[in-house]
Structure 1
């Protein structure tokens, strides 16, 4: 009997439209000989199934079911491709854990930890993972520009602590730009992380659980036309993404080992895509995404294809690992 799979997309953050695009790609590449896929749209106002004719069927959150033509449908698993909250910060993971329904992303603690850039860095630093020098602010804290610059230097990056797709991120080159950058970051989150500038080659490394084993995918080099890998660079073609990355064998081994080590230290499962910058010859960890973009042009699917894994195989493997 075919399994009923809920493909979760949307969400509560600025990334909701990107997530819906990712969810549609997952839906298109789901093997319908093995599974019955259902698009489930998550919004703050409601959760609902959107059928192929545009019909809406609301989710009963008591048991995560839907009713179509007076027939109740329960789900065997949830394919979580919600970027940002509530799919990437642990909320959906905890909900499905309580209901006993398998879901494809990492567990709720790992999701909450990696979504919080500050906490993730705090956990990894004692393991010797190189990171930028950082300075933390919460909304309402006094802003001491001189203290910030003394700590992280210029240029630096001002980021919303819990946000994705480079929303709320600014590259700052002067003291005068710091306060406006902080105001921009606070539009996305009430916590901020300010980081020293890491000068070097930027790479993105996908690590997934494939056929039961943590697997490092081919590495992607990021060459942005803009000041950094911002929203335009990610989604509007203002970057070159080179897979495999133009690294020496030593650099490749260094970053592969570090990415795999981080995946295992954090007890991850499912998808992950971590960003690193080779600063002074050494890969420095920037952040981890646990529900990265999944369009045909997104980095992780590109890496899977470079490894000889089709999108259909990747979706099937993800569902089977979850089940």
Structure 2
């Protein structure tokens, strides 16, 4: 069955270019599956553009959306992944791939996600929430990671190993968000778990992925080619079971739908949650497609499945 699919890329945030890459990959893969793709792009200034690159008003974008059977909001970060585009699709009454408004908003907020994790018994790194007003009162005592509460692709994230590094790290994070999370450094293996929710409450968990990098998995490591992905990660059965259980628990506690990537540090004491991505990077070379490919589900087949699940679910 040929399906008319709107794919929304870009966005008004620091992940604009990453989102464009995801949207382009998704569009090509869906076309290869025989679907009709209708691209929509949001520029960094909030301007919408149609498939021909023409500037259109929001009302026109909604009209285009309403001609499609399903939408794929491939916008990472604020004003996209945080539930904003899910809300637009809800109001336009257009079915869409991925999590709804509530799950997107909560998962995008790293501090709130920590509180949810703790409430269901999943460990998180000890941390503090700071604002521009309170940041000056924070005293460095040990190595910490400083990050914006609601940003992605590791933008504004810094490892602070010496006292003099704290002030510029806080400034970098506060440039992207008015709230900042300061967390103690967790020593452990970086393991990603991808969870796909399917109709009927089924949860499909892909083979785990381990990230290996010299230093911190920051923006340069993510997109500069200096990191190594191992799929499946070399884990014991007990480690895999613990990570899977924690990932599904977070997926359900947040109320996620479609695909989500749940990132952990695997320590000697067990999994420690890092973050949850309800719209993770989605080119063919991104973590989640690699994880499902390791289970025999190709990039195109995965996207086809996600689109059909929305229509049939």
The alignment's TM-score, normalised by the length of structure 1, stands at 0.90
Q: CA shift at 1:73, angstroms?
A: 7.3
In structure 1, the residue matched to 2:238 is 250
Give the unaligned 5+ runs of structure 1.
67-71
Residues 224-270 of structure 1, C-alpha deviation per residue, up to 9 Å, x if partnerless?
Answer: 12x21111111111111100111122111110111111111222111
Residues 264-319 of structure 1, C-alpha deviation per residue, up to 9 Å, x if partnerless?
Answer: 12221111111100223311001001111111211000001001111111111111
1:217 aligned residue (178, 181, 206): 206
In structure 2, the residue matched to 1:288 is 276
| Bigger shift: residues 73-82 or 209-218 | 209-218
Matched, 1:48 2:49: yes
Q: What SS does the corresponding residue of 1:263 show, helix, strand or coil?
A: helix
Q: CA shift at 1:32, angstroms?
A: 6.0
Asked if the contact 2:209–2:231 (Cα under 8 Å) also holds between the matched residues in 1, the reply is yes
Q: What SS does the corresponding residue of 2:25 show, helix, strand or coil?
A: helix
Asked if the contact 2:132–2:178 (Cα under 8 Å) also holds between the matched residues in 1, the reply is yes
Q: CA shift at 1:107, angstroms?
A: 0.5
| Bigger shift: residues 137-146 or 3-12 | 137-146
Give the unaligned 5+ runs of structure 2.
none
CA distance in 2, matches of 1:302, 1:32: 18
Asked if the contact 1:203–1:219 (Cα under 8 Å) also holds between the matched residues in 2, the reply is yes
- Cα distance, 1:135–1:218 mapped onto 2, change above 3 Å: same
Q: CA shift at 1:85, angstroms?
A: 2.1
Could you say which structure has the higher helix fraction? Answer: 2
The alignment's TM-score, normalised by the length of structure 2, stands at 0.93
1:109 aligned residue (102, 126, 137): 102
Q: CA shift at 1:196, angstroms?
A: 0.7
CA distance in 2, matches of 1:45, 1:222: 34
Runs of 4 or more above 4 Å deviation: 31-34
